[in-house]
Structure formats: structure tokens, C-alpha cells
């Protein structure tokens, strides 16, 4: 055996002995850790170490034998280095594992000491020595809580009723109970009845209203009674506070554009009435009270709030309307009832159809429909309201391929002011009386500034050409006749 081969063998034996000694020294280090360490280390230590076999061979003179011996030496050399690396890796891993276990143990003990207060400061309580050195400050003495005698309460300093009520030197400002006493006798519940075979007639819908004349004219919403106009078997009955029976009523007229209707009680009697106020004088934040018949079963329900807005623009049956907004609760069945100001005057007609929600209710300003109510009572329809006889539609640029945005004539009443002026379906309206038209409401605003018989100039585009048309404003009664 050559000297180099003896050296390799001695190194291997030394590594094996070192591993065995290391294994023997591991156990005493932390006896309590033996169950954890032993399953990991022992299998590694017991792994057999491959010792390359060293064989003597007679040297041969031929080149092939010399090449074979050289290759074997290189292989044995590589395997010897591999065994040496493996022998070094085992103690390193064992040392790292032992160090990790020891560190985790110390960390566990320290954390436990922190939580128990043995180490560190884990409390918001100041240390006694620090408290002695800190400058002393006097704490303000707490004001003793006063005992409230519920049987002898002082007069309240704040009242929504007083804060929101308005005053007028010529009018008496009322409290909410006084408002209710003044208006509720003339606030009625309206029911649409349907006859039933062999059964009592049944109410199919309901609403509210208020009496405006002693002979029994009642204002309500058109949508409350419009089903009677389309079904002759239906009829209207009214429940008046203080009466022991319901009273039938006739529909005098309705106006879809403003959603206003007037009905007339059939029984002759001296009825209580409301006072109509001026909604134009309302201010945001002013107190208002609503009385009605929510859900059709809660007659005479009173809710109070403030005016949230006086010019909220809403759409009604394709018509734009400016409505009063309030946080007084207005629910289905309230439609047609009165909205009342601090003087006990009706300043709005409540309308649940306009999209009421919790804390959000709407009412038609009474000043905007006084003319409508008078016209219906006098003529059974609205007379003298401006009328164009044109229905329009707004088209956007991307509505379809090649579309040109604008307001277009969609329909014409025949006969009607628009037809007589020479309009055609498909005309794009550019301006009216010099006002640029970008939406349908622009036309309505210009129309409402005129009266029946006025002439307005429309600039339109037709087949790529621009032209002017003169239109004489007509009367809305013409629409009812056509």
C-alpha cells in the first residue's frame, strides 16, 4: 500500500472516530433535549461512510494499464473528498440545531418573564421611583353629577318647533299641535273602490287629500284617482275625520302634467277647509308638517320636518317639475295630502310617487298649481296653459353609428301648433328665441316665459340644412280635444 493511500485511509478513520466522539459528547450537553435531538442526529451519524477500497496491484508496463490505474486513483480521490465533506457537515448541522434549541428555550423563558412582569415593563402603571421624581400636577376636580328630578324638569332650552318656525307680524305662528288642530279636520283619506260579486266592495288603492271649499272640493294627486277614469266600475269614496261613514266623490278633472286632480264630495254639507299659503316664500330649514293616510290604514298620521330644498327638479310623466324636498316622512298613501307651514297654511301637495324614501320626501309647491286647481274647478280641465304640440327626444353622439347629438322632434300633435308651424319628425332643434337647446327642459323653460298667442322662433336642422320656423303658442285645452 502506498504512502498516499495510507494517508487517505488514516483520514477516513480519523473522521469516523471524530464523528463518534462528537456523538458521544452531544448527549450530555442538554439531557432534557435528547428526545428531540436523537431522532434527528442519530440516523445521520449511523449513515455508513463509504471508504473506497484500496487494492494492491502489480504495475504493468502497457499504456492501457497505466491509464486504468490513473482513473481509479482519481475516482478514489473524489470519493475521499466527498466522504471528508460529509464528515464535516454532520457536526455543523448538529451544532446549529443545538444552538437553535437553546436560543428558543431562552426566548421562551424571556417572553414568559415579560408577560408575568419579571422582566421589562409591560404595564401602563408608572414605576414608583419614576413617579417620585416626576413633577406633581393637580388633577382638576370632577364636577359632581347632578341628580335630575324627572318630576320637576326645567323648561327645555331647545325645540325644533321653535327653531324652525317662521314668524310674520301679520300671522300667528303655531305649534305643531295647533297646526294639527287647524288642518287635520279638513285632511281626508281617499279610497278607490271596486265592486265585488256577492261580497262587500273592496278598496284597491288609497291616497290623501284636503278640502279647499266648504261645498266639498278636494285637491289630491291625479295618480290617486286616474284608475277610475279607465275603469268605469271603480268609484271614489272619502273618509272625513268626525264622520261616521264614507262619502262618495266625483272626479271633476285631472292634469297629468302636474299630477293634480280635483274631486267633489257628493253630499251637500258645510265642510271644514284649509288655508292655501304661498310656497314662494318658503326658506330652506323652515318647519313643515305633513298629514295623511300612509299605507291606506293609518288615517290622520302626522309627521314633521324641515324644508330641505325648494327647487328640486324631478321628472313626472315625462314632464319636468320643480318640487319641494322635505325630511318629513311621506309614504305610500300620503300622496295628495297637505304639507303645512308654521302658520297652518298648506304650501304643498305631498307626492309619494316622486321617489320618497326615509328622510326624503317631495311635495308639489302649491303656488305652482293654484292656477291648475282653479282651471279644473271652473272648466273641468286646464285652460290657458302654453302648449307647443311637440314631443322631443334627446339623442347623444354615441347613440348609434353616425348619430349627431341634439334634441329632435319625436312626435307632433295633429292638429297642433307644431304641425301648423311646419315641423317634421326628425327635425333637430338648435335654438328657440335665441336660446341654445341642449336638452328638452331648455324648450320648456322658454315656453313657460310666454303666454298663449305669443310667437317664438325656432332654428332647426333638416336634411343637413338650417332653417327658421315661427310657432304660435297654443292653449293646452287643444291637447285635450285632439
Residues catalogued as catalytic: 223, 259, 335
CB atoms within 10 A of CB 124: 5
- DSSP type of residue 184: G
Sort strands 435-436 and 428-432 into parallel, antiparallel or unpaired.
antiparallel
CB atoms within 10 A of CB 22: 16
Is the CB of residue 417 less than 8 Å from the CB of residue 387?
yes
SS3 content of the chain, % helix, strand, coil (to 5): 35, 30, 35
Q: Tell me the β-bridge partners of 386.
A: 475
Closest CA to 338 of 286, 293, 285, 298: 293
Nine-digit cell at 237? Answer: 269614496
Backbone phi and psi for residue 19, each to the nearest 5 degrees, phi listed first:
-60, -40
Is the CB of residue 25 less than 8 Å from the CB of residue 37?
no
Alpha helices in 144-278 (DSSP H): 160-164, 176-183, 222-230
Alpha helices in 174-269 (DSSP H): 176-183, 222-230
Q: Say which residues have a Cβ less than 8 Å from residue 415's Cβ, sequence separation at least 6.
A: 389, 478, 482
Count helices and strands (H / E) in the chain: 11, 21
**Cα dihedral 464, 468, 470, 474 in deg (nearest 10):** 40
- DSSP type of residue 68: H
Cis peptide bond prior to 415, omega within 30° of 0:
yes
Read out DSSP for 269-294? ------EE--GGG--TT-EEEEEE-G
Burial class (CB in 10 A: 0-12, 13-18, 19+), 53: exposed
Alpha helices in 52-175 (DSSP H): 63-116, 128-133, 160-164
**DSSP reduced 3-state for 16:** helix
Amino acid at each position: 500500500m502506498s504512502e498516499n493511500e495510507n494517508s487517505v485511509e488514516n483520514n477516513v478513520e480519523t473522521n469516523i472516530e471524530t464523528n463518534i466522539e462528537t456523538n458521544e459528547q452531544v448527549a450530555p450537553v442538554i439531557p432534557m433535549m435528547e428526545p428531540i435531538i436523537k431522532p434527528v442526529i442519530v440516523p445521520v451519524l449511523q449513515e455508513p461512510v463509504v471508504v473506497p477500497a484500496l487494492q494492491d496491484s502489480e504495475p504493468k508496463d502497457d499504456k492501457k494499464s497505466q491509464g486504468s490505474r490513473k482513473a481509479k486513483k482519481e475516482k478514489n480521490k473524489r470519493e475521499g473528498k466527498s466522504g471528508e465533506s460529509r464528515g464535516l457537515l454532520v457536526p455543523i448541522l448538529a451544532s446549529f440545531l443545538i444552538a437553535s434549541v437553546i436560543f428558543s428555550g431562552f426566548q421562551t423563558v424571556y417572553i414568559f418573564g415579560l408577560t408575568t412582569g419579571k422582566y421589562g415593563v409591560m404595564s401602563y402603571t408608572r414605576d414608583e421611583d419614576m413617579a417620585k421624581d416626576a413633577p406633581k400636577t393637580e388633577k382638576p376636580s370632577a364636577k359632581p353629577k347632578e341628580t335630575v328630578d324627572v318630576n320637576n324638569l326645567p323648561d327645555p332650552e331647545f325645540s325644533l318647533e321653535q327653531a324652525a318656525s317662521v314668524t310674520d307680524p301679520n300671522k300667528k305662528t303655531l305649534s305643531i299641535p295647533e297646526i294639527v288642530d287647524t288642518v287635520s279636520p279638513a285632511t281626508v283619506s281617499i279610497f278607490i273602490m271596486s265592486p265585488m260579486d256577492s261580497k262587500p266592495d273592496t278598496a284597491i288603492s288609497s291616497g290623501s287629500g284636503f278640502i279647499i271649499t266648504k261645498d266639498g272640493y278636494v285637491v289630491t294627486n291625479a295618480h290617486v284617482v286616474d284608475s277610475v277614469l279607465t275603469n268605469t266600475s271603480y268609484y271614489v269614496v272619502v273618509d272625513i275625520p268626525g264622520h261616521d261613514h264614507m262619502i262618495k266623490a266625483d272626479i271633476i278633472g285631472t292634469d297629468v302634467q302636474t299630477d293634480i286632480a280635483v274631486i267633489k264630495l257628493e253630499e251637500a254639507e258645510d265642510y271644514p277647509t284649509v288655508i292655501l299659503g304661498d310656497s314662494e316664500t318658503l326658506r330652506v330649514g323652515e318647519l313643515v308638517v305633513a298629514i295623511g293616510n300612509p299605507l291606506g290604514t293609518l288615517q290622520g298620521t302626522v309627521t314633521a320636518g324641515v324644508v330641505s330644498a325648494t327647487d328640486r327638479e324631478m321628472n313626472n310623466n315625462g314632464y319636468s317639475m320643480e318640487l319641494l324636498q322635505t325630511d318629513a316622512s311621506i309614504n305610500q298613501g300620503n300622496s295628495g295630502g297637505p304639507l303645512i307651514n308654521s302658520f297652518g297654511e298648506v304650501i304643498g301637495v305631498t307626492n309619494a310617487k316622486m321617489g320618497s324614501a326615509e328622510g326624503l320626501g317631495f311635495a308639489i309647491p302649491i303656488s305652482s298649481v293654484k292656477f291648475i286647481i282653479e282651471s279644473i274647478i271652473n272648466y273641468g280641465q286646464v285652460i290657458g296653459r302654453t302648449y307647443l304640440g311637440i314631443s322631443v327626444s334627446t339623442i347623444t353622439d354615441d347613440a348609434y353609428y353616425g348619430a349627431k347629438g341634439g334634441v329632435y322632434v319625436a312626435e307632433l300633435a295633429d292638429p297642433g301648433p307644431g304641425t301648423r308651424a311646419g315641423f317634421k319628425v326628425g327635425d333637430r332643434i338648435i335654438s328657440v328665441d335665441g336660446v341654445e337647446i341642449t336638452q328638452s327642459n331648455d324648450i320648456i323653460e322658454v315656453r313657460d316665459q310666454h303666454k298663449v298667442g305669443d310667437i317664438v322662433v325656432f332654428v332647426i336642422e333638416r336634411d343637413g340644412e338650417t332653417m327658421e320656423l315661427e310657432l304660435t303658442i297654443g292653449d293646452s285645452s287643444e291637447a285635450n280635444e285632439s
